Amino acid sequence: MPMGGLLPMFSSPPGGGLGGGGGGGSSGLGIRKVAGPGAFRLTEKFVLLLVFSAFITLCFGAIFFLPDSSKLLSGVFFHSNSALQPASDHKQGLGLGNINAGGKGEEGSEGERAAAAAAAAAAADNLAKIREDHERALREAKETLQKLPEEIQRDILQEKEQVLQDKLLNKGNAGGLPHLDFRPSIGALGREPTDPEIRQKRAKIKEMMKHAWDNYKLYAWGLNELKPISKKGHSSSLFGNIQGATIVDALDTLFIMEMKDEFKEAKEWIEKNLDFNVNAEISVFEVNIRFVGGLLSAYYLSGEEIFRRKAVELGEKLLPAFHTPSGIPWALLNLKSGIGRNWPWASGGSSILAEFGTLHLEFVHLSHLSGNPVFAEKVFGIRNVLNTLDKPQGLYPNYLNPNSGQWGQHHVSVGGLGDSFYEYLLKAWLMSDKTDLEAKKMYFAAVQAIETHLIRKSSGGLTYIAEWKGGLLEHKMGHLTCFAGGMFALGAACASPELTQHHIELGAEIARTCYESYNRTAMKLGPEAFRFDGGVEAIATRQSEKYYILRPEVIETYMYMWRLTHDPKYRKWAWEAVEALEKHCRVDGGYSGLRDVYLKQESYDDVQQSFFLAETLKYLYLLFSDDDLLPLEHWIFNTEAHFLPVLHKNNQEVEENHK
Confidence of residue 96 (pLDDT cuts 50, 70, 90): very low
Question: Could you tell me which residues come within 8 angstroms of residue 171 by beta carbon, excluding any fewer than 6 positions away?
Answer: none
What architecture (CATH level 2) is domain 196-645?
Alpha/alpha barrel (1.50)
H or E element at residue 224? none
Mean pLDDT of 160-182: 62
Type of residue numbered 583: K
Quote the CA–CA distance of 606 and 594 in Å, as a whole number: 8
Q: Which of 528, 537, 606, 615 is catalytic?
A: 528
* Dihedral angle sign, alpha carbons of residues 287, 288, 294, 295: positive
What is the pLDDT, as a whole number, of residue 136? 66
**pLDDT: which is higher, 25 or 191:** 191
What is residue 432's predicted lDDT score, i.e. its pLDDT? 98
**Does 639 show up as a binding residue in the annotation?**
yes
pLDDT at 383 over 80: yes
State the amino acid at position 7 in one-letter form: L
> Which one of the listed residues 423, 553, 606, 615 is annotated catalytic?
553
Kindly compute the dihedral angle of the four CA atoms of residues 419, 408, 443, 648, in this order, to the nearest 10 degrees.
80
Residue 316 to residue 170: CA distance in whole angstroms: 13
pLDDT at 321: 98
Q: Are 320 and 273 in contact (CB under 8 A)?
A: no
Q: What are phi and psi of 243, to 5 degrees?
A: -115, 170
> pLDDT value at position 59?
58
Residue range 495-541, pLDDT digits in tens: 999 999 999 999 999 999 999 999 999 999 999 999 999 899 999 99
Q: What is the mean pLDDT of residues 231-237?
A: 94
**Residue 28 predicted with pLDDT over 70:** no
Query: Which residue ranges make up each domain of the chain?
Result: 196-645
| Residue range 42-70, pLDDT digits in tens | 566 666 677 677 666 665 555 444 444 44
Say which range, 32-36, 294-298, 516-520, 607-611, has the weakest mean pLDDT.
Answer: 32-36
Residue 141's φ and ψ, nearest 5 degrees, are -65, -40
Residue 95 has pLDDT above 90, yes or no: no
pLDDT of residue 293: 98
Mean pLDDT of 239-256: 97
Q: Is 528 a catalytic residue?
A: yes
286 catalytic, yes or no? Answer: yes
Please tell me which of 1-10, 87-96, 359-368 the model is most confident about, judged by mean pLDDT.
Answer: 359-368
11-25, 291-305, 497-511: least confident range: 11-25
Q: What is the pLDDT of residue 408?
A: 96
Choose the catalytic residue: 252, 419, 467, 596. 419
Task: Give the pLDDT score at 184.
Answer: 85
CA distances from 329 to 360, 576, 650 (A): 12, 41, 32
Query: Would you say residue 27 has pLDDT above 50?
Result: no
Nearest CA to 391 among 434, 336, 448, 325? 448
* Per-residue burial over 136-170, b = 16 or more CB atoms within 10 Å of its CB, e = otherwise: eeeeeeeeeeeeeeeeeebbeebeebeeeeeebee
What order of strands is seen across the sheet that includes strand 411-412?
Answer: 411-412, 467-469, 472-474
Answer positive or negative: Cα dihedral of 622, 626, 628, 632.
positive
Q: At what angle do helices 245-256 and 260-273 cross, to 10 degrees?
A: 150
The pLDDT mean for the chain works out to 84
Q: What whole-number distance in Å separates Cα of residue 413 and Cα of residue 475?
A: 11
Q: Is the pLDDT of residue 159 over 70?
A: no
Of the residues 225, 286, 362, 509, which is catalytic?
A: 286
- Residue 58: per-residue pLDDT: 62
Mean pLDDT of 185-204: 95
Q: What pLDDT does 324 receive?
A: 98
Distances from the Cα of 631 to the Cα of 232, 302, 422, 625, angstroms: 37, 17, 22, 11
Least confident of 113-122, 347-356, 501-510, 553-562: 113-122
Read off the pLDDT band of 176 (50, 70, 90). confident
- Cα separation, 334 vs 155, in Å, equals 13
